[in-house]
Amino acid sequence: MKRRGMGILALAGMIAPGWLAADVVDSSANGFTLKETIDIQAPPQAIYAKIFRVGEWWSSAHTFSQDARNLSMEDKVGGCFCEKLPGGGGVKHMEMVNVSPAKAIVLHGALGPLQSLGATGSMRIQLTPADGGTKVEVTYAVGGYVAAGLNSWAAPVDGVLKSSSRA
């Protein structure tokens, strides 16, 4: 069975088996919001640590370099969720703007093709102890300007985030 997850939540596929799917919470010409909530039978500290080992769980198919091992994520405010490219290039996917160990992470930036549009986003990952495990809630809110409207991007971004974990 293929395990999938939403962006950062793709790590849940490594910890908790099953299908993970983001929901398009809202969508308009000015932006959209995706949200996923899942309970994982692991402590918040373990999930938090796994998030920062992004190259272990992100799909290579959803990288510019086609190799998830080129991804890194720094566990500090101002830290980069970045990707090394062949020939010395690189991509800054998102930046850490709020880091509360084993509790919450907030990143700002635009993932994938959103980078070349007049759009940016905020992704919040909230970790809450629950029933011997952790409730993980990920919200990705994207806003900005695109001539055809950002609502046309909600479903495609949702699809990419759903399939970002390795099988």
Average pLDDT over residues 100-119: 93
The whole-model pTM stands at 0.83
pLDDT tens for 128-148 read 999 889 999 999 999 999 998
User: What integer pLDDT is reported at residue 1 of this predicted model?
Assistant: 26
Q: What's 15's domain CATH number?
A: 3.30.530.20
- pLDDT tens-digit profile of 53-100? 999 988 898 899 999 999 999 999 999 999 999 999 999 999 999 999
- Tally of domains in the chain: 1
User: How far out from the chain centre does Cα 138 lie?
Assistant: 8
Mean pLDDT of the chain: 85
Q: Which tens digit of pLDDT belongs to each residue from 2-59?
A: 333 334 445 544 444 333 556 889 999 999 999 988 899 999 999 999 999 999 988 8
Question: Is 136 within a domain?
Answer: yes
Backbone torsions φ then ψ of 150, nearest 5 degrees: -65, -20
Whether 2 maps to a domain, the answer reads: no
Band of residue 108 on the pLDDT scale cut at 50, 70, 90: very high
Task: Give me the domain span that covers residue 72.
Answer: 7-162
Residues 6+ apart with CB under 8 A from 80: 72, 73, 74, 92, 94, 95, 96
Domain assignment of residue 1, yes or no = no
